[in-house]
Amino acid sequence: LHRDIKPDNILLDEHHVHLTDFNIAAIVKEDLKATSIAGTKPYMPELFQSFEGAHPGYSFAVDWWSLGITAYELLRGQRPYVMKSNTPANEILQTFHKVHPSYPAAWSLEMKSLLRKLLCIDVQKRVSCLAELQDLDHMSDVNWDAVHDKQVPPGFIPNQRRRLNCDPTFELEEMILESKPLHKKKKRL
């Protein structure tokens, strides 16, 4: 995961997952913060802190939150936080602070622990770099060089007969924050 990528989409390349950004990524230098409002609401908690009077702006730590949301959604088939494109910003921030995602009992303790570290609303306590991820006890046996070089066989290989393994229009209006959601613009398209 690179600092300038918001994982809003998943693409498959030789059966290995890649995360991409639908062309709304921001390049953020280490000593600066981004302030643009673009992204899918559940994936961007720092965007809404300015509505609470906190210091506006965010950095690459938000990408690790997004990775946690993506992993949760892939494992469970739903997002850990329920919100709609018209949910007011103050309600979104309250949801992040007050609602604790539920983790199915069938999930391993290690997976639950990892997701809690990625979905930590406090940016200072969130896993937010590869070195922190690699330092976790339950990640110590991962061969990170093999992962990087795509030498680890994927746990799932999609059906090769299907051309598309996703619905590109699913929740499209939530992909980009706007004052007027995209579903209201369908008639003009």
Catalytic residue among 4, 21, 122, 135: 4
- Is 4 a residue of the active site? yes
Residue 26 domain flag: yes
Rg value, the chain, Cα: 17
Q: Report how many domains make up the chain.
A: 1
Residue 58 near residue 33 (C-beta atoms within 8 A) = yes
Please give, one letter per residue, the 3-state secondary structure of 65-101.
Answer: HHHHHHHHHHHHCCCCCCCCCCCCHHHHHHHHHHCCC
Give the predicted TM-score (pTM) of the model.
0.71
Strands 16-20 and 9-13: antiparallel
Residue 96 domain flag: yes
Residue 1 domain flag: no
Mean pLDDT of the chain: 75
Strands, E assignment, 111-170: none
Task: Summarize pLDDT for 105-158 with one digit per residue, the tens.
Answer: 999 999 999 999 999 998 899 998 999 999 998 898 899 999 888 888 877 776
Q: What is the CATH number of the domain that holds 148?
A: 1.10.510.10
74 has a pLDDT exceeding 70: yes
Print the domain residue range for 155.
9-185
Separation between Cα atoms, residue 33 and residue 123, nearest integer Å: 13
